[in-house]
Structure 1
């Protein structure tokens, strides 16, 4: 899994402050009153209709005499995402109240319906409020197609700050879907200039870094200026990522300089990820130095660079360097690099060294990563399989083990003679009672690159495994099994989820007891992190979290997934990302944004949230409107930036 109100402050909504952790602007005093749902039964009815996806119940509220309820109903459709409500939302775009208009624009963007693009563009022509115009431009970016993209490029001769920010976010939202043009790219680059508002620069940098299939070679100079001189780390980081789309003889020097000099580790991580194989000789000294970076996230990213991009090196070089690294995660990745780049004569000794280290290791996560490292050599197949299926094996080890076996089968040099053995391994995994083994094996069966239609025909085994799946808890494994069946049977249309995957209703009695600024302290093995719960934006998610905290559910759990300059994720009862509760929640997509320190619920798709949550290291706007935000880090981001895989959630407590 990733994964698995009152007015939002204008600055946060605009993306102007997203670089500094942006979600909500509600009071933060310890004496904050109970939330809006405790005193207003109409807001509860609207929120309940949102949770139950009841379009017919919500539509009349869009025409309620009170703007508060019109706004709440419009925002509800951002989660419901029912195109049947499109005519009502389009009508609400002209509401007399600006907050209602902004909410309607946000909801229309969430529907991503191309039919809304002309109406949004028309509204822009008559819109009198700058904030609403900003929302309408971003929504337009979510709805335009290739032919309607020019609508997003039309602005007044002297646009105000909010209009510039809105256009930039609109270009970003279009770019995420691959909707772009040369004119759109030129405009996006212009919005990256130092004279533009920070919200526009942030959106533009992200648009250029995340829009697929761009060649940005001709824009090397403005991208370099943003990557090296912008005062905001988030802009520098995204612009550095965008430099990876530049083909230039000077780029290696630029990235090496950023890696050596930028004060923010997140920008250094981006520099490493932008480095490509073709520049290896020119950047490798900077990358070697990064292995000793004081920040572990930079160190592990440097190791990943060598694994993916090194050329002309011996395996022994990385084996020797790994022996001098104290951080187990960086060391494990370097061992993988040693095996990956080793010559034929080197492989046996390196493989043996990794196997010996696995046997001696006591930490489950380190052992899991060592199995992952062995996934670079088909000769390690028997060792990995034995570890994976060992009796009473720790879930995280068996999960990484089956993933390593699938990785082995994906290697170009995987021996043809071992392919029947791989099919036998998948059958063993599917026959097990381990949800991760089952789900990963099913995922391999539906992978077109592995082309297992001919070799695997035991569809009865898949169906039997599916019948053993506990729904809705293990919905991800059920989906993987169904997708495998659909693939092996050449079904064109995906099979829908079963009715047994129903969601957990909101506990409104509990919701009404939660203060509007309720805080929770997460005690970790690295230090304490204080979260502010956003009950008015995500009542169902907060109620679930509060109930789990009261049950000590999170005590002694781990952070099982940490992706540098992205997220730290934990709360899985299995410790490997495949665990959940016996219920799922419906997604709650309030008008919030993933800035630094946003806390979201992991999911396997819309309306499949459970107990796992993640904290973002920096702005990650591609998650906006796709994963529920239910809290914001208020104190302890320094701790979040130090978290690594295997670190403990010792306990979580609700603060008075």
Structure 2
């Protein structure tokens, strides 16, 4: 069995066992079989209450006589996340049904309240079921204080399932900055080859993603795992963690990894881990990586150079430019060239690159090259003019991104501060959701010191009043945060979307549990398995949009190498939403390679954008709805670039409005 799907299958078996206990086999052979679990009206009601965030009517189901309903009600609170449910969920940890105890532990972790910590520790000392132990350990990490972190460090698992749970618990505690030296040492021990995959994966992400830990003492163990672990998902995270090692030969071993590992995700992780190293030390590896046959590696390397331009040799980049065909890579390299060129050659090179921009084909290629021009401060007015006159949102949004990048540079000319402040004010006045949101975020950046350039903040208030909700919620949130900052107020409660789009149960009940869809793209076909029983509202929303041909001819507007490929935006720049929003739906699933999630600007703000993961991304777990998984065509996902088109979305099996036997 695929270890990444182990948790999902565990749940399926547990819930299946519950169902088997409740229903006797029918002697009739022609009785229609429900195509998904929502023919059960009680389950439909529980999910409706979840969707409505109706705590009061959900609570009684936690003590229902049916263990299946108790389980589903507990899972509902993983999405509702109301602290009123904490006491009854703690009581559910003693339930006779294993599935109910697992669900309660998951929900407590999702709610994340520290008041659950002591009870979870007590139950861990009594619980005998490995699956429940694992879920309790991970939940403990999600609610941990220093006491919980110490318990996780000292816990001795008696089985592999609990070991994986401990490892995930350490990772979750690390994300809460509950870190100890003993916990770090335990994570290093957990990445050794004889431990199970899930334990190694979670520990590797603890090492890679936990901030402010020094891994220098563990150099040897990390290098062993980075070069010999059989799972590329583990290697890439361990390689990422090598950024936290101080060693004289760091450039050497990272360069070797960047040029030798067969998996592109490991290679680009090695490049990203090189931050702070002298360019001359890593030059051969970087120049090779920027020309890597895998486009994601080349893109990630060019972005690394933008983030670390100091000391990069212009002549070396000029020599490889002719080999770079991708506009995104070229744009980033142009930025570094202009940034680092001597004054006498900068103007000449700039004119040449401006001509390339003018002759570029397609909005995405133009956008990438326009951002490249922001490596030269003298281009600021040209970029601003392009932004305000752009007919395509992609050009305007990227121009704003380029101007913000300019303004963030440590040597930004003080003489231009007032002019940039006016550009941002004017951008807010355009009413374009992307320009307004991005400019608002820039204005509140304390490092940019823009507050003193505005006599009043009425232009931000006016922009906020013109927004259309829930469509413009992301921009609304940015404006509210900026107004709070400028008025010296503690950040107010994040604006909430109204509940306007309930689940379409007629549509949900017509979608088979094994429904698949095919994304036909310019790079090839990608087949998705929809998780209608885990995320009925999100799946119904996706199917309804697909039926309307909403996604046809849209682009993958965002591709972050070894993270996600994102699509579903009509604007094509990431700021396009619908006139409604749907609710977040969190189930005990993990973001592994090829999982499909709903993009959002925060809980309960989803609409039409979604993403596919390139590799495990545990920091998204429980924060972004998982509603599908790639079952065929993952090689296509790894080849996707910004600007690749979705031709159409095909429902692989017919969806009818009648229940039929399978």
TM interval, short-chain normalised:
over 0.9
Please list every run of 5 or more consecutive structure 1 residues that lacks an aligned counterpart in the other structure.
Answer: 1-8
Distance 1:484 1:178 in 2: 26
Aligned to 1:526: 523
Given the superposition, is the C-alpha separation of residues 498 and 641 from structure 1 closer, same or farther in structure 2, using an over 3 Å criterion? closer
**Counterpart residue number, 2:656:** none
* Equivalent residue number for residue 122 of structure 2: 122
Aligned to 2:422: 424
| Structure 1 equivalent of residue 20 of structure 2 | none
Indicate if the aligned counterparts of 1:318 and 1:334 stay in contact, CA closer than 8 A: yes
Residues paired across the two proteins, number: 637
User: Relative to 1, partners in 2 of residues 1:237 and 1:304: Cα closer, same or farther, differing over 3 Å?
Assistant: same
Superposition TM-score, scaled by structure 1 size: 0.94
Q: Secondary structure at the match of 1:510?
A: helix
Alpha-carbon distance change, 15 to 190 in structure 1, aligned in 2, over 3 angstroms? farther
1:439 pairs, out of 432, 437, 440, with 437
Residue 642 of structure 1 aligns to a residue in which SS?
coil
Q: Compared with structure 1, are the counterparts of its residues 302 and 248 closer, same or farther at alpha carbon in structure 2 (3 Å cutoff)?
A: same
1:602-624 residue CA offsets vs partner (Å, 9 max, x unmatched): 00011111100000001111110
**Which residue does 2:454 correspond to in 1?**
456
Match of 2:503 in 1: 506
- 2 CA distance for matches of 1:402 and 1:592? 36
Who is 2:151 aligned against?
Answer: 151
Q: Distance in 2 between matches of 1:133 and 1:117?
A: 14
Q: Partner of 2:26 in structure 1? A: none
2:159 aligns to what?
160
Structure 2 counterpart SS, 1:235: helix
Q: Which residue of 2 aligns with 1:486?
A: 484
Q: Matched residue of 1:118: which SS? A: helix
Aligned to 1:41: 41
Residue 342 (structure 1) aligns with: 341
Could you say which residue in structure 2 is the equivalent of 1:324?
Answer: 323
Measured against aligned partners, the alpha-carbon deviations of 1:392-433 in whole angstroms (never above 9, x if no partner) come to 521000001112112222223322332222122122211213
Pairwise CA distance, 1:212: 0.4
Task: Give the Cα–Cα distance (whole angstroms) in 2 for the partners of residues 399 and 33 of structure 1.
Answer: 50
In 1, Cα distance between equivalents of 2:5 and 2:74: 16
Which residue in the other structure is 1:539 paired with?
A: 536
Residue 33 of structure 1 deviates from its aligned partner by 6.1
Q: 2:404 aligns with which of 385, 403, 406?
A: 406
CA shift for structure 1 position 55: 1.0
Q: Which has the higher contact order (CA 8 A, sep 6+)?
A: 1
What per-residue deviation string (whole Å, max 9, x for no partner) do you get for residues 514-567 of structure 1? 111111110111001011111110011011111100110001100011011110
Residue matched to 1:306: 305
TM-score (norm 2): 0.93
- Which sits farther off after the overlay, 279-288 or 219-228? 279-288
Are the equivalent residues in 2 in contact too, given 1:388–1:398 (CA < 8 A)? yes
Name the CA shift for 1:34/1:295 in 2 (closer, same or farther; >3 Å). farther
Give 1:92's aligned residue: 92
Q: 1:33/1:321 Cα in 2 relative to 1: closer, same or farther (>3 Å)?
A: farther
CA distance in 2, matches of 1:314, 1:11: 45
Q: Distance in 2 between matches of 1:496 and 1:298?
A: 37
Equivalent residue in structure 2 for 1:477, among 451, 475, 478: 475
Shift of 1:324: 2.7
CA positional deviation for 1:306: 2.8
Q: Deviations over 1:13-47 (max 9, x none)?
A: 76699xxxx997999xxxx9654444200000100
What is the CA deviation profile of residues 426-476 of structure 1, one whole-angstrom value per residue up to 9, with x for unaligned ones? 222112131111111111111111121110234221111112111101101
Q: CA deviation at 1:595?
A: 0.5
Aligned to 2:108: 108
CA RMSD of aligned residues (A): 2.1
Distance in 1 between residues matched to 2:261 and 2:409, nearest whole Å: 36
Q: Which residue of 1 aligns with 2:75?
A: 75
Alpha carbons 1:533, 1:630 under 8 Å: kept: yes
The CA deviation string for residues 274-293 of structure 1, in whole angstroms up to 9 with x for no partner, is 11232432221012112221
1:644 corresponds to 2:644? no
Say if 1:23 and 1:592, in contact at 8 Å, map to a contact too.
no
What 5-or-longer segments of structure 2 have no aligned partner?
17-31, 654-662
CA distance in 2, matches of 1:16, 1:244: 33
| CA distance in 1: counterparts of 2:494 and 2:550, whole angstroms | 31
Distance in 1, Cα, partners of 2:183 & 2:391: 53
Tell me the CA shift for residue 113 of structure 1: 1.1
| Other-structure match for 1:268 | 267
SS at match of 2:279: helix
Deviation at 1:498, TM superposition (A): 6.0
Deviation at 1:180, TM superposition (A): 0.6
For the residue of structure 2 that corresponds to 1:62, the secondary structure is helix
Query: Are the structure 2 counterparts of residues 34 and 255 from structure 1 closer, same or farther at C-alpha, using a change threshold of 3 Å?
Result: farther
Q: Is the 8 A contact 1:205 1:238 kept in 2?
A: yes
